[in-house]
Structures are given as C-alpha cells and as structure tokens.
Amino acid sequence: MKSSHVLFALAVAVILPAIGCRPRSKEITSLQRKQAEQFISEAQFAVTLRDYARAEDQLAKAVAVCPDMGDYWVSLGSVRVRLGQRAAAKTAYRSALAAFEDAVARNPKDEQSMLQQVSVLALLGRSDDARALLAKLRDRLPDSRNIRVFVEQKQLDSLLVDPAFKEISL
C-alpha cells in the first residue's frame, strides 16, 4: 500500500508541471538574488567576448537560483539560439513567458511584464498570439500609456523585422 502512495506522489510531481500547474515556489532570498545578479554580470561579460558557452553556463546558474526572473530566461534563450540549441532556447523562452505571466498574476498592474509576454511570444515565433495578446491588453487597459504607445508606434511590427531580434527568434 505504501508503494502506491509513493507512485502517486511521483506521478503528481511529474505530471502537474508538464501540464502547466506549477506549485508555489519558496521565497527567493536577497542573498540568492545577489548571487543571481553576479551570474548575470559574468554572463554579460562573456557575451561581450562572444563566449556564448560560458554565458550559457552562467545564465543557467542564474535561472536556477532565481527562476522568477523572465529577463534571465530571455537572455538564456537568446544565448542558446546563438549556440544552435534551438530546443533548449524554446524551453527557456517558454519559462520566460511563464515567469512574466506569474509576475502579472502577482501584480495585475505590471504593464512591463504584460508587454514582455508579447515580446516573448514573438521570440517563440507566435506572432499571431503576440498580436492577440496585445489587442487584449489594449482593450483591457485603454488608459495605459505604455500599452497605447507600444501599439501606436507599432513596436511589435518593429521587433518582428529587426535583424537583431530575428537572430534570437525561433
């Protein structure tokens, strides 16, 4: 009987994350955030040297410490694209999207994270979904200056044709 409980617990631990149900993660300490910032700093230096393998290693460490930082995941995805690791980049971009969605769930007025979701959808090659989300945000928050400017200046269209953006997109 005990083994069936263990198997059930194992099945729940494997299946729930796979279908998008994430258990609440424990609180990230300020020391962990500082450690992640150090990894990010080292990764940025490695990118300037075009040492993408080293940057990928440092970024992977940063997201392991602070998985709630969507920007870290985006950086990891872009480095993985440069390394030719498209499947791993897709996983990182999906994690970025989840992190930005979680940020909005925690703070429904976080317009920056809302717009970051639009950008990550575009990075994933889901431009139709990005446009639909942007239209939804515009309708839901008609008084938002940031969203209005993003739409009026056609920043999504600009991103989609930007060669640097195309270089890190899937």
Alpha-carbon distance of 99 to 72, in angstroms, equals 10
| DSSP code of residue 143 | T
> Digits of tens for pLDDT over the chain (170 positions)?
444 343 333 333 333 333 333 434 578 999 999 999 999 999 999 999 999 999 999 999 999 999 999 999 999 999 999 999 999 999 999 999 999 999 999 999 999 999 999 999 999 999 999 999 999 999 999 999 999 999 999 999 999 999 999 999 99
Query: What value, to the nearest 5°, has the Cα angle with vertex 49 and ends 81 and 87?
Result: 10
Q: Are 169 and 121 in contact (CB under 8 A)?
A: no
CATH 3.10.290.10 fits 32-168, yes or no: no
| Whole-angstrom distance, CA of residue 42 vs CA of residue 160 | 29
Following DSSP, what letter does each residue of 30-99 receive, concatenated? Answer: HHHHHHHHHHHHHHHHHHHTT-HHHHHHHHHHHHHH-TT-HHHHHHHHHHHHHTT-HHHHHHHHHHHHHH
Predicted TM-score (pTM) of the model is: 0.82
